[in-house]
Amino acid sequence: MRPAVVSTIVGKDLREFRADRFFLLITGLSLVFYPLIFWLLPSTVDETLRVGVVQRGLDRVVAAVSDGSDGLAVVELSDQATLEEALLSADADLVAGLVFPDDLVADAAAGAPAQVSLLITADVAPEVETALAALANEVALLALGEPPPTNLLSEPVVLGEDQVGDQVSLREQLRPLLAFFVLMTETFALATLVAAEVQTRTVTAVLVTPATRADFLAAKGVVGTAVAFTEAAVIMALIGGFATGAPILVVTLLLGAALVTGIGMVAGSFGRDFMTVLFTSILVMIPLMIPAFSALFPGTAAAWVQVLPTYGFVQTLVEVTTAGAGWADVSAELMLLAGWTLAAFIGGWVILGRRVATL
Amino acid sequence: MSPAVVARELSYSYGEHVAVDGISVDVAPGEILGFLGPNGAGKSTTIKMLTGQMQPDGGTVEVLGLPMRSQRTAIQQRIGVCFEEKNLYLSMSAAENLRFFARLFGIAGFDPTSLLDRVGLADRAGDRVSEYSKGMRQRLMMARTLVNQPDVLFLDEPTDGLDPVSARRIRELVRDEASRGAAVLLTTHDMMEADDLSDRVAFVNEGRILAVDTPERLKLSHGNRSLRVRLRGSDGAVGEQVVDLDDPQIAGAMSEALSSGDVLTVHSEEATLEDIFVHFAGRGLDG
């Protein structure tokens, strides 16, 4: 492999990209619309609190408190077990729960301390915890007519992984998805370029010069990775993705770009024309998009999603951009991504190499 | 002078199908060898092996004294290949196409103007190749073949489907390159072109070379040494007389024939290359 020959082919490929109106169009649209969509999405989360309450004999009081509070929705539940189940279920959409003891009023009247339990889900902000403590006090005040000897648990029971203060807005959830879409776009562009080179047999003209097959394949790898990385990095910069963990993100985007380049080489090998390239690319990309979509629904991804090649890419972006994760936190995901990238690149190299050899 | 191309006992099979079956051929510097045969005869596969695109299943190739198996890149530095497919970069201009290939050959400061001028495309140098006609693209293919001033040219059907003006221009280029000293291996199924251009022709059929010689010797050895004279007699009837060129009394025979009526046509009875190919292969060049 000779760097001068590889760089000559790279220069030619970049010139072809620049001359390709379709490629320019989809690149331009990506650069405009992806950031536009990102910045149009809400950057805050819905602040209405749906709180589950378990109580007996306090219906009137709870209803009065609920009616008088903006942004508070009270859902009555029969017992603590039901409340916990509801908190862990996505369907109920509860962020916290209060469990009032059955004998709250009697105990208070006797001067005995009463204990109100506060149950919170993993992603509840600290201020919500404070608000719920105030709510419990208000209920007790209304029920007793005087400040109660209530005793809220000093250590609230946290259900699930603690993400207090780390709610992720829809905008931030979309960030890895956009980065992934950009890479997909570039995969398709590279696949189109490769397919055209194979179908028009310009590659055979190149390979009867001193350029070797390895030079040709290396050039395609460099072009695909460079173009995909550049555009993904530009998009990430435009959507404020580099605010935290920029070095990690650069490495992640580079690995992701190399990953989709390998896939693009495979798709281009099988493509006969624009439509077959489009079809092949989409066929490959659909399963690879699943991890990106799973980022829209926070929680632990299913095991089968975690073995998909793009999981490491998406998960690293999510953890770094939304949770400020460092190298140690994402090392497993990066290793996974690096492994898949190597496999995809070798696969693309071998398959495209064989395709070219049989022309 | 040692041959520029030496192939010995080349063979290649696509699965069960034997495409090339023991072909041996030499091409000398400055010589144009016409590789004549119908489609599927094994011409293109042979060219692919001679240019390093394919490894032969058997046999050896030497180009410019270098073995293809171990010196492929060094050989490719000094050869030019014109493909049957117009495999040009359509989104680039003619000048950009030539500059790109010049860089692959490591030619610094390449100026495509004179080369484009030779093929009559200098005034369209900056136009995208996608806007070129078929003839213009073929001329650009020839220009690309000459970018590195090759010592050996492999031309695969270089005038196929071209208008007469473009075809003539390309034939002139081929002759010029041979005059410069380049060895030329020209594959074609156009026997007129082979006859016109080639110093020698090789008949190829079913992966084998059936005969190799100069067109003239082939035609003389396989034709009739006679003249066929068509005449209109005094009664208006059209007749024919055959004059044997080996007849010791040819002058008298010729005079008698020409005076026996109004001469309509006189034709030699030498064989065409197509006749000779049919003689060897039992099939025509279009078959």
Counted across chains A and B, CB pairs separated by less than 8 A come out at 61
Query: Among B82, B51, B76, B75, which Cα is nearest to B144's?
Result: B82
The answer to whether residues A123 and A177 belong to one domain is no
Report the alpha-carbon distance of residue A254 to residue A168 in Å, rounded: 25
- pLDDT tens digits, residue range B118-147? 999 999 999 999 999 988 999 999 999 999
The answer to whether residues A95 and A172 belong to one domain is no
pTM, to two decimals:
0.75
Average pLDDT over residues B259-287: 77
The yes-or-no verdict on residue B4 having pLDDT over 70 is yes
The yes-or-no verdict on residue B173 having pLDDT over 80 is yes
Report the alpha-carbon distance of residue A179 to residue A318 in Å, rounded: 11
- pLDDT tens digits, residue range B47-82? 999 999 999 999 999 999 999 999 999 999 999 999
What pLDDT, on the 0 to 100 scale, is given for residue A166? 52
The answer to whether residues A354 and A217 belong to one domain is yes
What pLDDT, on the 0 to 100 scale, is given for residue B267? 83
Interface subset of B 87-106, CB within 8 angstroms of A: 87-92, 96, 100-101, 103-106
Are residues B92 and A12, on separate chains, in Cβ contact within 8 Å?
yes
Are residues A16 and B92, on separate chains, in Cβ contact within 8 Å?
yes
Is A88 near chain B, with CB under 8 Å? no
Q: What is the distance in angstroms between the Cα of A13 and the nearest Cα belonging to chain B?
A: 10
The yes-or-no verdict on residue B153 having pLDDT over 50 is yes
The answer to whether residues A200 and A339 belong to one domain is yes
Kindly tell me the sign of the dihedral angle through the C-alpha atoms of B101, B107, B110, B114.
negative
List chain B residues with CB under 8 Å of A208.
51-53, 76, 79, 81
Report the alpha-carbon distance of residue A328 to residue A297 in Å, rounded: 24
Q: The tokens of A319 are what?
A: 């953890």
Are residues A15 and B96, on separate chains, in Cβ contact within 8 Å?
yes
Residue A161 lies in a domain: no
Domain that holds residue A354: 3-42+168-358
List chain B residues with CB under 8 Å of A4.
106
Residue B6 bridge partners (DSSP)? B26, B62
What pLDDT, on the 0 to 100 scale, is given for residue B8? 95
ipTM (interface pTM):
0.84
Report the alpha-carbon distance of residue A97 to residue A86 in Å, rounded: 9
What pLDDT, on the 0 to 100 scale, is given for residue A164? 46
The DSSP output letter for A47 is -
Kindly tell me the sign of the dihedral angle through the C-alpha atoms of B167, B171, B177, B180.
negative
The answer to whether residues A138 and A235 belong to one domain is no
The answer to whether residues A194 and A289 belong to one domain is yes
Query: Among A340, A344, A310, A316, which Cα is nearest to A328's?
Result: A316
Report the alpha-carbon distance of residue A172 to residue A44 in Å, rounded: 10
Residue A157 lies in a domain: no
Are residues A205 and B101, on separate chains, in Cβ contact within 8 Å?
yes
What pLDDT, on the 0 to 100 scale, is given for residue A215? 95
* Cα distances (Å, whole numbers) of residue B120 to A93, B76, B97, B163: 76, 26, 16, 14
List chain A residues with CB under 8 Å of B101.
205, 209
Residue A153 lies in a domain: no
Residue of A7, A20, A209 to mutate for B, most B C-beta atoms under 10 A: A209
The answer to whether residues A123 and A189 belong to one domain is no
Q: What are phi and psi of A159, to 5 degrees?
A: -100, 125
Residue A154 lies in a domain: no
Residue A148 lies in a domain: no
Residue A134 lies in a domain: yes
The answer to whether residues A218 and A271 belong to one domain is yes
Residue A156 lies in a domain: no
The answer to whether residues A38 and A69 belong to one domain is no
Residue of A18, A198, A208 to mutate for B, most B C-beta atoms under 10 A: A208
Rg of chain B in Å (alpha carbons):
23
Interface subset of A 31-50, CB within 8 angstroms of B: none
In what helix (H) or strand (E) does residue A141 lie, and over which residues does it extend?
helix A126-144
Q: Quote the number of domains for chain A.
A: 2
Taking all residues of chain B, what is their mean pLDDT, rounded to a whole number?
A: 88
What pLDDT, on the 0 to 100 scale, is given for residue A57? 76
Residue A117 lies in a domain: yes
Are residues A207 and B53, on separate chains, in Cβ contact within 8 Å?
yes
What pLDDT, on the 0 to 100 scale, is given for residue A255? 95
Write the CATH number for A93.
3.40.190.10
The answer to whether residues A298 and A208 belong to one domain is yes
The answer to whether residues A12 and A62 belong to one domain is no
The answer to whether residues A279 and A179 belong to one domain is yes
For chain B, percent of residues with pLDDT exceeding 70: 99
Q: Which residues of chain A have pLDDT under 50?
A: 153-155, 162-165
Angle at B270 between CA B265 and CA B275, to 5 degrees: 115
Report the alpha-carbon distance of residue A121 to residue A296 in Å, rounded: 18
Cα nearest neighbour of B96 on chain A: A12
Is B44 near chain A, with CB under 8 Å? no
What pLDDT, on the 0 to 100 scale, is given for residue A124? 67
Q: The tokens of B255 are what?
A: 């005079």
